[in-house]
Amino acid sequence: MTNIPTELLRTLVAVVDLRSFTKAAQSLGITQPAVSAQIKRLQILLGGELFDKSAPGVTLTEKGEIVVNYARRLLSINDQILQHAQPSSSVPPVRIGIPGALDASTLPAALAEFRRRWPFMRFNVRGQSSDDLLRDLRQGDLDLVVAFTQSAPAIDARHNWTDELVWVCGREVRIDAGGPLPLIADDMNCLLGRLATAALNQAGRNWELVCNSLGIASLKAAANAGLGVAVAIRRFVGGDLIICEDDTLPRLPNVVCGIYLRESTDHDILVPLADAIARVIAPPGMVRA
């Protein structure tokens, strides 16, 4: 009987969820060649291709869809066995998801505040697009998520508020009204990237993607270096970045930021954690007791 190593299944699920071999490698703490080698080994064990090479991006074959569904169930059982086999004093980490567009530099302060009240708690924090985070929350793969939506909370949120989007750039950037706008985006599939391109297209403003950065830090570095213009939350604009006051740039819509908790879980722990996070990332006066 052939046994399938769980690490191969976990790598497969990571590639599918993150829609990228590179991002899967980063989340798993291994190299991209190692991810590719593990996927190849899994395909050899299963006797068939799991990804459709003729389709763009990361697209599963029919067999791949079936394998991923079973893989999620197997990994869930594996994790439950480990959790129940641990000493009663051992507590699994709280799985937290934050969107790449969020300036998470203040998040450690919230976690530190929480640890003072719950010193035994551990955290596992990862960044993805809001759409992916909300999907993982619904599937039970995350316990707490901070996510952006366009007009209203996606589901019942512990906290939610409205944030204003603005165009930002480095202090030395000069925008050519006659040429395409050089656009910097954290992820073109994320909400802020979609809203930026939709606003430009609706206004009839030509644009070109000059940098697809990985995370808010890379986005700010690219904008500071003068590579182009990016979209950010007004409250988080600072340092060398400035708000672009240019009449050729269309007005951007507001977004709703929400903090969401997983259903059917221990809210006695997650509710105070959500409140601690909200106190450091929400606008003043927006956090309920």
**What residues contact 256, with CB distance under 8 A and at least 6 apart?**
148, 149, 150, 151, 152, 153, 160, 161, 162, 163
Full-prediction pTM beyond 0.85?
no
Residue 286 has pLDDT above 90, yes or no: no
212-264 pLDDT, tens per residue? 765 667 777 777 777 888 888 888 787 778 888 877 889 999 999 999 998 76
For residue 91, give the 3-state DSSP assignment.
coil
pLDDT of residue 54: 87
Q: Would you call 129 exposed, middle or buried from its count of C-beta atoms within 10 A (0-12, 13-18, 19+)?
A: buried
Per the CB < 8 A criterion, the answer to whether 187 and 203 are in contact is no
Q: How many CB atoms lie within 10 A of CB 258?
A: 23
Give percent of the chain with pLDDT exceeding 70: 87
Mean pLDDT of 5-21: 89
Q: How many CB atoms lie within 10 A of CB 246?
A: 14
Residue 275 has pLDDT above 90, yes or no: no
146-197 pLDDT, tens per residue? 999 988 776 788 899 999 999 988 877 777 777 888 888 876 678 888 899 9
34-51 pLDDT, tens per residue? 899 999 999 999 999 999
d(CA 7, CA 253): 42
Which among 285, 282, 284 has a CA at the least distance from the CA of 110? 282
Mean pLDDT of 118-144: 86
Structural domains for the chain: 6-85 (1.10.10.10), 94-156+256-281 (3.40.190.10), 165-253 (3.40.190.10)
